[in-house]
């Protein structure tokens, strides 16, 4: 019992010395008067007190409880009195601290915009691996080994196992989607791709693409053109002119490249369009029958079109950015300019 008395004395001393600092009142309440607080613990000791001492101890414990409660009231009044003082020091007319706003990366902004345009035409988003095998990146796309067009895309091979590579385009996703055998297919494939190019204002060893694929019965080049016209108008506005030039890709036949009238000079000729008035924005064409057969699709029954564009290129045109390296430098002075863009 002496222990209990000693302990109560220690608590009393603590309580007396408890100072009314900021937040102290609540801390005090929890520590001494809370459901698991000191007063409750001390009170619970009552059951260990021998009967003949119960009366005496009951009084001591009760006094202790009142002692703690009085201190709590005292703390409350002290902090209450402090309030006007502190609020006098707050100037409510000052403007609040501005919260810094984050911004999306311009590549993400444009990627999302491209996706939403094609989604309105019924295209679904498909994704696939960035580390790819030869079949999905090249051979299935009608680029067998030794095909000269493989040189068009300087490939990074995985040094431990050159059967694997970093994909050079997101066409690998198109192959994987066709192999699933569910037709028709109407997908766009956004993603990062890699090519071993010297880094400059116009080229990088990695960049982003959105490729598209539509396979169904009776798909024609007119469908391809209409789809891409719609895309360009939604992306760059109604006034932009479009032209197709014949081109070559092993996986499409016929193939074309699409140019839009230069957004900087409006077609009059400037540095950006190399004084031609036109800038190339994507490659496209009708799916090559060999590509369809490679993916076990009957090329007599089905036809389709494909297209592929670099997101960096589109973003540079849209926001008039002259150096592609800015996209990967993480300079906030550059990135901040896109705050609020969606
Ligand atoms: N895969 C091509 C590239 O990366 C783009 C492309 C896709 C061209 C589809 C035509 C059709 O350059």
pLDDT in tens, 36-72: 999 999 999 888 888 998 899 899 999 999 999 999 9
pLDDT digits (tens, 9 = 90+) for 92-146: 888 888 888 788 999 999 999 999 999 999 999 999 999 999 999 999 999 988 8
Nearest ligand 1 atom to the CA of 212 is 9
Residue with CA closest to ligand 1 atom 7: 308
pLDDT digits (tens, 9 = 90+) for 219-231: 999 999 999 999 9
329 near 291, Cβ under 8 Å? no
As for ligand 1, residues whose beta carbon falls within 6 Å of it are 169, 171, 211, 249, 252, 283-285, 306-308
Q: Identify which of 150, 192, 215, 283 to mutate to test ligand 1's pocket (most ligand atoms within 8 A of the CB).
A: 283
Of 139, 145, 138, whose CA–CA distance to 166 is shortest?
A: 138
Nearest ligand 1 atom to the CA of 305 is 11
Nearest ligand 1 atom to the CA of 193 is 4
User: 212: CA distance to ligand 1 center in Å?
Assistant: 9
130 near 191, Cβ under 8 Å? yes
Task: Name residues whose C-beta falls within 8 Å of residue 130's C-beta, 6 or more positions apart in sequence.
Answer: 166, 167, 191, 192, 193, 194
pLDDT digits (tens, 9 = 90+) for 268-280: 888 878 899 999 9
State the pLDDT confidence band at 22, using cuts at 50, 70 and 90: low
pLDDT digits (tens, 9 = 90+) for 153-188: 789 999 999 899 999 999 999 999 999 999 999 999
SS (H, E, C) the chain: CHHHHHHHHHHHHHHHHCCCCCCHHHHHHHHHHCCCCHHHHHHHHHHHCCHHHHHHHHHHHHHHHHHHHHHHHHHHHHHHHHHHHHHHHCCCCCCCCCCCCCCCCHHHHHHHHHHHHHHHCCCEECCCCCEEEHHHHCHHHCCCCCCHHHHHCCCCECCCCCCEEECCCCHHHHHHHHHCCCCCEEEEEEEEEECCCCCCCCCCCEEEEEEEEEEECCCCHHHHHHHHHHHHHHHHCCCCCEEEEEEEECCEEEEEEEEEECCCCCCCCCCCCCCCCEEEEEEEEEECHHHHHHCCCCCCCCEEEEEEEEHHHHHHHHHCCCCHHHHHCCCHHHHHHHCCCC
Please give the structure tokens belonging to residue 135.
């079949």
State the pLDDT confidence band at 88, using cuts at 50, 70 and 90: low
Tell me what the mean pLDDT of segment 291-300 comes to. Answer: 97
Nearest ligand 1 atom to the CA of 152 is 12
Question: What's the rounded Cα separation, in Å, for the pair 20 and 205?
Answer: 63
Share of the chain above pLDDT 70, in %: 96
- pTM value is 0.72
Residue with CA closest to ligand 1 atom 4: 169
Tell me what the mean pLDDT of segment 16-25 comes to. Answer: 76
Of 216, 133, 217, whose CA–CA distance to 175 is shortest?
A: 133
**pLDDT at position 74:** 87
Residue with CA closest to ligand 1 atom 2: 308
State the pLDDT confidence band at 267, using cuts at 50, 70 and 90: confident
User: 168: CA distance to ligand 1 center in Å?
Assistant: 10
**pLDDT at position 104:** 93
Task: Kindly report the backbone phi and psi dihedral angles of residue 99, in degrees, each rounded to the nearest multiple of 5, phi listed first.
Answer: -85, 130
Residue with CA closest to ligand 1 atom 6: 308
User: 171: CA distance to ligand 1 center in Å?
Assistant: 7
Task: Kindly report the backbone phi and psi dihedral angles of residue 194, in degrees, each rounded to the nearest multiple of 5, phi listed first.
Answer: -130, 135
- Residue 283, CA distances (Å) to 147, 159, 251, 287 in order: 19, 30, 11, 12
């Amino acid at each position: 019992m002496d222990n209990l008395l000693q302990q109560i004395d220690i608590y009393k001393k603590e309580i007396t010395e408890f100072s009314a600092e900021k937040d102290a009142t609540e801390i005090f309440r929890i520590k001494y008067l809370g459901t698991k607080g000191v007063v409750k613990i001390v009170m619970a000791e009552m059951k260990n007190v021998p009967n003949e001492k119960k009366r005496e101890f009951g009084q001591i414990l009760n006094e202790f409880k009142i002692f703690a409660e009085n201190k709590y009231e005292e703390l409350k009044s002290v902090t209450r009195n402090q309030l006007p003082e502190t609020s006098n020091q707050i100037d409510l007319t000052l403007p609040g601290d501005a919260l810094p706003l984050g911004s999306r990366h311009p590549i993400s902004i444009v990627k999302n915009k491209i996706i939403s345009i094609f989604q309105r035409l019924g295209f679904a988003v498909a994704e696939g691996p960035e580390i790819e095998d030869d079949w999905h990146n090249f051979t299935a796309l009608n680029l067998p080994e030794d095909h000269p067009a493989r040189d068009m895309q300087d490939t990074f091979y995985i040094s431990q196992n050159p059967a694997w590579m970093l994909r050079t385009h997101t066409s690998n996703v198109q192959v994987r989607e066709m192999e699933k055998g569910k037709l028709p297919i109407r997908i766009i494939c956004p993603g990062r791709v890699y090519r071993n190019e010297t880094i400059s204002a116009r080229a990088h060893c990695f960049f982003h693409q959105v490729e598209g694929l539509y396979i169904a019965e009776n798909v024609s080049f007119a469908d391809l053109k209409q789809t891409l016209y719609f895309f360009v108008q939604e992306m760059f506005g109604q006034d932009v002119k479009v032209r197709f030039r014949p081109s070559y890709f092993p996986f499409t036949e016929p193939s074309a490249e699409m140019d839009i009238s230069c957004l900087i000079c409006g077609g009059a000729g400037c540095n950006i369009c190399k004084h031609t008035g036109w800038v190339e924005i994507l490659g496209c064409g009708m799916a090559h029958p060999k590509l369809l057969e490679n993916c076990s699709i009957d090329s007599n029954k089905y036809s389709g079109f494909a297209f592929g564009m670099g997101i960096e290129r589109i973003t540079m045109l849209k926001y008039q950015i002259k150096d592609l390296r800015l996209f990967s430098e993480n300079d906030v002075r550059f990135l901040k300019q896109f705050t609020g863009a969606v």
